[in-house]
Structure 1
């Protein structure tokens, strides 16, 4: 499956969330990671993040796509992070 992860966390947790996310996905730009991932690895990622974030103050959103067949990536401005084939 293909996943886009976006997060909005308190400043003191930003680096920790990014470090966890980069173990599983590719950094794209500030607070956004994406990539192919298995269901098992996605569950591990979520588990690690739950131990790191404050569920009362922070937000992590996963957009999960079963296929990227009908996807297209378009960039306006500077391309940051890893180069990928999607969004």
Structure 2
């Protein structure tokens, strides 16, 4: 499944969430991660984030079964890297 995770949190917690998410997904831009994961990995990510996030933070999860159904358009310079690393 292809997921996009977006979060809004305090600065100190932002570093913690970033560290956890980069284990599974590609960093796209500030507080945005995306990539392909298994259903089990997705459940684990959600569990980790629930334990790691600050009380007043907000996390949004977007998921689709297959990336080919995703229409992606960008403007401006990208900050992250979503290319596959071999």
Q: Structure 1 length as normaliser, TM-score? A: 0.87
| Distance apart, 1:50 and its partner CA | 1.1
1:12 corresponds to = 12
SS in 1 for 2:43: helix
Q: Structure 2 length as normaliser, TM-score? A: 0.88
Number of equivalenced pairs = 84
Between the aligned partners of 2:82 and 2:42, the Cα distance in structure 1 is 21
SS in 1 for 2:70: coil
Between the aligned partners of 1:81 and 1:37, the Cα distance in structure 2 is 18
Q: Tell me, which stretches of 5 or more residues in structure 2 are unaligned?
A: none
Measured against aligned partners, the alpha-carbon deviations of 1:43-85 in whole angstroms (never above 9, x if no partner) come to 1111111111134x01111100112223232211101111349
Between the aligned partners of 1:71 and 1:43, the Cα distance in structure 2 is 21
Q: Which runs of 4+ in 1 moved over 6 A?
A: none
Q: Tell me, which stretches of 5 or more residues in structure 1 are unaligned?
A: none
Between the aligned partners of 2:48 and 2:9, the Cα distance in structure 1 is 15
RMSD over equivalenced CA pairs, Å? 1.5
